[in-house]
């Protein structure tokens, strides 16, 4: 592949995903990391990317950077979870870095409707996809830019999603699905009330961990997408409860 063709392909990936990493691009295109860095430098000079440590991110029309690159595990989890979503579905995406990684991989899904109470996810999908985006409204919880409270909960009660995809602070069989913030967990709990399928996305470190606020019993999750380094004994116990565990 000529350098011009490779750079065009990299620019397309940045537009679709919002962020790329040097190591992943090096593997994908079969060239050295230094070659990829030169490609990213060239794209930055053209105004098509903004270089960051270890990679590059997309530049909006206002010249601002929408996000930082996801780490490899979160990106793999995001890709695997997005693959569970079918064209034409309505999906609720909760807040968090891992759910943002899911959003990056939903950009090519046709006829998708995304409900979210995460402002960064709404902003990304509005700029980089054709999905219909519904934002719940509500009070902004900083620093995560998560919408919480009565308005957000009332909106969720009036909507229906085919799949609910959420990130969590902890997944424990005795202690359930838990999060760091009680107000945020209370809002997400409303999304679970009518969800036909609940998909939890969490890096391997979250398995066996217990956070402050209880969301639901662990078997409320239908699918858990996590990293390949997850504790095998916990994965086994989860599957014994009938939960599908996908490791990537």
Instruction: Verify that 143 and 223 share a domain, yes or no.
Output: yes
Helical (H) or strand (E) element with 26: helix 22-29
Helix (H, G, I), strand (E, B) or coil at 245: strand
Range of the domain at 31: 3-57
Instruction: Verify that 87 and 206 share a domain, yes or no.
Output: yes
Residue of 117, 119, 120 lying closest to 149 (CA atoms):
117
64 within a domain of the structure (yes/no): no
62 within a domain of the structure (yes/no): no
Q: How many domains does the chain have?
A: 2
Amino acid 16: pLDDT: 81
Quick one: how far is CA 48 from the chain centroid? 23
Instruction: Verify that 138 and 213 share a domain, yes or no.
Output: yes
136 within a domain of the structure (yes/no): yes
Model pTM score? 0.73
31 within a domain of the structure (yes/no): yes
Helix (H, G, I), strand (E, B) or coil at 160: coil
Strand 146-148 to strand 139-141: parallel, antiparallel, or no bridges (unpaired)? Answer: antiparallel
Question: In tens digits, what is the pLDDT along the chain, a chain of 248 residues?
Answer: 788 889 989 998 888 888 888 888 998 899 999 999 999 989 988 888 888 767 888 875 544 444 444 468 999 999 999 999 999 999 999 999 999 999 999 988 899 999 999 999 999 999 888 999 999 999 999 888 899 999 999 999 999 999 999 999 999 999 999 999 999 999 999 999 999 999 999 999 999 999 999 999 999 999 999 999 999 999 999 999 999 999 99
66 within a domain of the structure (yes/no): no
215 within a domain of the structure (yes/no): yes
The answer to whether 15 and 128 are in contact (CB under 8 A) is yes
Instruction: Verify that 51 and 76 share a domain, yes or no.
Output: no
Question: What CATH number is attached to the domain comprising 10?
Answer: 1.10.10.10
Instruction: Verify that 13 and 131 share a domain, yes or no.
Output: no
Instruction: Verify that 101 and 194 share a domain, yes or no.
Output: yes
Question: What CATH number is attached to the domain comprising 219?
Answer: 3.40.50.1360
Burial class of residue 166 in the structure, from the number of CB atoms within 10 Å of its CB (0-12 exposed, 13-18 middle, 19+ buried):
buried
Quick one: how far is CA 124 from the chain centroid? 11
C-alpha span between 84 and 200 (Å, rounded) = 12
Amino acid 53: pLDDT: 65
Instruction: Verify that 98 and 48 share a domain, yes or no.
Output: no
> Which residue bears the tokens 């034409």?
88
At residue 151, φ and ψ (nearest 5 deg) are -60, -45
C-alpha span between 132 and 152 (Å, rounded) = 18
Residue of 147, 90, 89 lying closest to 117 (CA atoms):
147
Instruction: Verify that 103 and 219 share a domain, yes or no.
Output: yes
Instruction: Verify that 50 and 92 share a domain, yes or no.
Output: no
67 within a domain of the structure (yes/no): no
Whole-angstrom CA distances from 77 to 1, 14, 131, 243, 246 are 29, 18, 21, 17, 9
13 within a domain of the structure (yes/no): yes
The answer to whether 14 and 49 are in contact (CB under 8 A) is yes
- Per residue in 180-232, pLDDT (tens digit) is 999 999 999 999 999 999 999 999 999 999 999 999 999 999 999 999 999 99
Instruction: Verify that 79 and 152 share a domain, yes or no.
Output: yes
Give residue 226's region: left, alpha or beta (phi > 0; psi -120 to 50). beta
């Amino acid at each position: 592949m000529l350098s011009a063709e490779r750079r065009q392909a990299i620019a397309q990936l940045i537009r679709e995903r919002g962020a790329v990493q040097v190591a992943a691009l090096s593997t994908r295109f079969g060239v050295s990391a230094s070659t990829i860095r030169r490609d990213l430098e060239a794209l930055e000079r053209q105004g098509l990317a903004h270089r960051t440590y270890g990679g590059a991110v997309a530049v909006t029309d206002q010249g601002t950077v929408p996000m930082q690159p996801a780490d490899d595990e979160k990106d793999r989890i995001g890709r695997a979870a997005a693959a569970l979503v079918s064209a034409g579905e309505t999906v609720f995406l909760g807040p968090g870095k891992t759910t943002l990684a899911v959003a990056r991989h939903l950009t090519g899904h046709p006829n998708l409707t995304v409900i979210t109470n995460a402002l960064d996810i709404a902003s990304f999908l509005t700029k980089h996809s054709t999905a219909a985006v519904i934002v719940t409204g509500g009070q902004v919880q900083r620093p995560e830019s998560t919408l919480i409270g009565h308005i957000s909960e009332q909106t969720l009660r009036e909507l229906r999603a085919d799949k609910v995809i959420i990130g969590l602070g902890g997944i424990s069989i005795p202690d359930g699905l838990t999060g760091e913030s009680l107000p945020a967990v209370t809002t997400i709990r409303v999304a679970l009330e009518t969800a036909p399928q609940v998909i939890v996305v969490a890096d391997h470190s979250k398995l066996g961990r217990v956070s402050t606020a209880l969301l639901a019993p662990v078997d409320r999750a239908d699918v858990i997408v996590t990293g390949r380094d997850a504790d095998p004994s916990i994965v086994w116990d989860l599957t014994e409860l009938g939960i599908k565990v996908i490791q990537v």
